[in-house]
């Protein structure tokens, strides 16, 4: 599995974790931290895509 695929898998796992936290009614600070983590991974993925298409 290449780096891009690993990152996509990690994004999906973290998204599912965030969805679960929302469903379970976790504290907002926990949800926020998870959301920021997910955003950072998505940013890394987009940067990777940008380098490939540039």
Statement: the pTM of the whole predicted model exceeds 0.85: yes
- Note the pLDDT tens digit of each residue in 20-33: 999 999 999 999 99
Note down the domain range covering 32. 3-53
Instruction: Using the predicted structure, report yes or no on whether residue 54 has a pLDDT greater than 80.
Output: no
**Which single residue is written with the structure tokens 């931290």?**
33
CA distances from 14 to 5, 30, 51, 52, 53 (A): 14, 13, 23, 24, 26
Domain count for the chain, please give it: 1
Instruction: Using the predicted structure, report yes or no on whether residue 52 has a pLDDT greater than 90.
Output: no
- Note the pLDDT tens digit of each residue in 34-48: 999 999 999 999 999
Confidence of residue 15 (pLDDT cuts 50, 70, 90): very high
């Amino acid at each position: 599995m290449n780096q891009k695929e690993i990152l996509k898998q990690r994004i999906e796992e973290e998204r599912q974790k965030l969805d679960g936290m929302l469903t379970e009614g976790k504290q907002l600070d926990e949800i926020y931290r998870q959301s920021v983590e997910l955003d950072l991974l998505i940013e890394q993925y987009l940067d990777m895509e940008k380098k490939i298409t540039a």
